[in-house]
Structure 1
Amino acid sequence: MAEIHSPTPLYHRIYAVMRERIIKGYYPSDVAVPSEAELSESFSVSRITIRKAMEMLTAEGLVTRTRGRGTFVNDRTKENKLNRAVVSNINGLFSYLNAVGQSTRLKVISLDLGEAPPRICAQMGVSPTTPLVRAVRVRFLDKRPYSLSIAYLLPEIGQTLKRQDLATTNMIDLVQEAGATVEQVEQTLTATLADDYAAKHLEIPVGAPLMLVNRLFFNADLKPFYVAEIFYCADRYEYRVSLKREDGKDFSLGN
């Protein structure tokens, strides 16, 4: 982890990144998080720094540390009752993706087949051991990284992808060319912080603010077949929605 001039202590920046990972379901509750040694190597910091960060997470009740077993994320299965889907038209999303594709260029980081993170498997409704195709790309706008996109696809769709096509074509066009019908998309936007992987590819410091857009695509049978996680630099991304009141659909707030 490259050191930068910041008034925030290094251990606190590690804590902030680990906290975001835990809240976003990066680590399953039934599997130990990486050890201090592994995290130390991943973030390129000392084990003392990692230990201080983990102590903060423990004090906050996010993890439990047990001698001889390791550190485990505490169960966070209760969902906020205010988290609910807003139904809109899918054509607007496709138009937006097309506009982004025309104004940016792509760099393919990787294309492989393997196990996906538990949070992705849960979204897709597949076993944690199910192999998924993963495609990682960085979009550039004005010669600077604009977004980091990590796509997970079922093999019957993903194995048709080719690196040369990923470098020039929007993923939504590629999956439809592969025979998939996009019937429904669920989109979630959350604020997050850059971990070491995102920081490297977006050329920003670890702990820098990001906007995470998660899109879950359903086929004609309303079965998930594709998940996209897109990390946008917070200072370069704006998401705008225009809402209109439908004629004759006045409402009042209940007590």
Structure 2
Amino acid sequence: MAMRRHIGNAVHESLPTPLYHQIYLILRGQISDGKLAAGAQVPGEEELARQFNVSRITARRALAELAAEGLVTRGRGRGTHVTHRNEPPPVRGAVEGLIENLMAMGLKTQVELIDFGYEAAAPDVSAALQVEAGAEVQRAVRVRSLEAGPFSYLTTFVPAEIGRKFGRKELAREPLLALLERSGVVIGAADQTISATLADTHVAPLLKTAVGTPLLRISRVVHDGNGHPVEYIIGLYRPDRYQFRMSLDRVRGGERNTWSASVAPTTGGSKSSPRSTNREKK
């Protein structure tokens, strides 16, 4: 298998992602990390072709993608330079105080309702909401944005008997958790899983990013005070605009030591125990 190398990075012919897009992702990461700061000159077509052992056409397409996204400007005889962008810092979501943080985020960001309706629950939805397969559920798709642009693509499912208490107009204006509580649901807790995925041809344009860009994937089941599921949500997040934070306490045991998730200190310095019992051995 042929491998084309660059200092600290590599592109692979065996991957399904085109070589030009692999180079684009590497350069985009260097810009996001500040390794290529605002105003810095980006290597030109000839230099990129030599570094990655690709054709100039391939290098040109990588630079064209950066320019199309507004990350760089190109000028004949002047080269390619990183565009100066004064974006606000990314949203930081904490595991601690999860429900309160989600409510606050919903009030501080803008939302666009992409899709809304009722459908039969697919197997994964029925399992998450603990309803019969094929039971009617409300499904909504929303995109949340900051001043810098969209950062999350959210698909939510709610049992129909709860979803009928609010509609499209309310979802386009208010956070879903607030609507649930207004409908008489007492929110108790939530379980969530964090993984990763790639932006597909549907999600990428809505998040204003390139197809194949890595995204955070967060699936969450929200329970009422009696432990019954009332919401199932799958969220896809741009990691350059959304970060997840967790505080850990060192727990010392007789045979081994572990890390345990904990609530970050408040202004009063107090802590409360999280619902999660996940521990990482170290």
TM-score calculated relative to the size of structure 2: 0.55
In the TM superposition, structure 1's runs of 4+ consecutive aligned residues that sit over 4 Å from their partners are 7-11, 252-255
Please point out which of 224, 227, 234 is paired with 1:229.
Answer: 234
Residue 127 of structure 2 corresponds to residue 125 of structure 1: no
Query: Conserved in 2, the CA contact under 8 Å of 1:90 and 1:184?
Result: no
**CA–CA separation in structure 1 for the residues paired with 2:121 and 2:204:** 20
Specify which structure has the bigger relative contact order, considering alpha-carbon pairs within 8 angstroms and separated by 6 or more residues. 1
Q: Is 1:215 the counterpart of 2:220 in the alignment?
A: yes
| Deviation digits for residues 149-184 of structure 1 (CA, Å, limit 9, x no counterpart) | 111000111112222221221111111111112222
Cα distance in 1 for partners of 2:230, 2:191 equals 12
Partner of 1:250 in structure 2? 252
The AA in structure 2 aligned to 1:207 is: G
2:122/2:134 contact within 8 Å kept: no
- More strand per residue: 1 or 2? 2
Between structure 1 and structure 2, the one with the greater Rg is 2
The equivalent residue for 1:44 is none
The root-mean-square deviation of aligned C-alpha atoms, in Å, is 2.8
Give % identity.
Answer: 30
For these two proteins, the number of residue pairs brought into alignment is 172
Unaligned runs of 5+ in 2: 1-10, 19-93, 258-282
**Aligned twin of 1:182:** 187
Task: Identify which of 73, 84, 106 aligns with 1:101.
Answer: 106
Higher relative helix content: 1
Q: Structure 1 residues 8, 108: CA separation in 2 closer, same or farther (over 3 Å shift)?
A: farther
Aligned to 2:161: 156
SS state at 2:243 partner: coil
For 2:211, the equivalent position in structure 1 comes to: 206
Query: How far apart are 1:145 and its partner, in Å?
Result: 0.9
C-alpha deviation, 1:90, in angstroms? 8.8
The unaligned stretches of length 5 or more in structure 1 are 1-6, 15-88
**For 1:12, which of 16, 25, 37 is the aligned residue?**
16
